Structure 1
């Protein structure tokens, strides 16, 4: 199984400086065995894309979940910020892998507060997943959005293996 990104060349966006430009649009990310399965998963995960007018899609297998972050128009960025951000992304990717290994499908990182990492998942219902990191261990809690409390799911080691 691989992570895939599906994009389309049919789109426009507006920059922070309010410049409208044609560009590629990310339609979604999926986890599948092949390009065909990735496209099928995308259509199931985002049914609003069917008939949306996006006809041409490009499907790429992701070689790494670790993005290379660069900043346009800035000469220097704070190296400490970049190092901290990179460590956070490694941690988020490890948590995502653990969640997928434990049956959570169609999940994505949502945000982090001072105590927890929050992920969203879409199975038969919208699911919110809260992860608490304690040194090299994580505790996973989940809840359906209709409920008002989190239910403990399990404890796992936070490792890169």
Structure 2
């Protein structure tokens, strides 16, 4: 079995500074034996694509299942945390996520009792971690999905 990424040149992206760019869109990641089987699996696994208007797709076999992530060198503020408690919680949660097979974890923001991250497990995902007393509830979702799915409860 091979890992495949399927993309389309038909689409636009809104950048973080609200500028729109025509570019390629990732339609999905699948595991299949051939590129023809990968296309069939794409339509099965990502049913929202059917009728979406995307027509032209490019199918690439991936040599590695985890991407090499790097940054464009954009200047970031040194301290992204509101206080020491947030910094400590993010560190603890990051360690727990790493122990549960998430990689390339990036902390996004905190809202009420939820911490939001981006990470990889089998694909690029958004991760929400809810803190409840001495337990954290981990929820993740693939970028193309609408809702978070409960991954599990873990002791802090």
So what's the TM-score if we normalise by structure 1? 0.53
Q: CA deviation at 1:18?
A: 1.1
Matched position secondary structure for 2:55: coil
Give the conservation status (yes or no) of the 8 Å contact 1:32–1:38: yes
Say what the alpha-carbon RMSD is for the aligned residues.
Answer: 3.9
Cα deviation code 1:48-100 (max 9, x no counterpart): 3123221110111121122222222426898xxxxx79x9499337x957xxx
Q: Which residue of 2 aligns with 1:36?
A: 36
Matched position secondary structure for 1:130: strand
Matched position secondary structure for 1:38: helix
Is there any run of 5+ residues in structure 1 with no aligned partner, and where?
A: 79-83, 98-106, 135-161
Q: Which residue of 2 aligns with 1:20?
A: 20
1:81-160 alignment, distance < 5 Å: 88=98, 91-92=101-102, 109-111=125-127, 113=129, 115=136, 118=139, 128=149, 130-131=151-152
Is there any run of 5+ residues in structure 2 with no aligned partner, and where?
A: 79-93, 104-119
Q: CA deviation at 1:30?
A: 1.1
So what's the TM-score if we normalise by structure 2? 0.54
- CA distance in structure 1 between the aligned counterparts of 2:40 and 2:55, rounded to whole angstroms: 14
* Number of residue pairs aligned between Structure 1 and Structure 2: 115
Tell me whether 67-76 or 107-116 shows the greater mean CA deviation: 107-116
- CA distance in structure 1 between the aligned counterparts of 2:68 and 2:126, rounded to whole angstroms: 19
- CA distance in structure 1 between the aligned counterparts of 2:57 and 2:101, rounded to whole angstroms: 30
Give the conservation status (yes or no) of the 8 Å contact 2:8–2:24: yes
Give the conservation status (yes or no) of the 8 Å contact 1:4–1:60: yes
Tell me whether 2-11 or 67-76 shows the greater mean CA deviation: 67-76
Q: CA deviation at 1:8?
A: 0.2
Cα deviation code 1:115-136 (max 9, x no counterpart): 4654569xxxx994635789xx
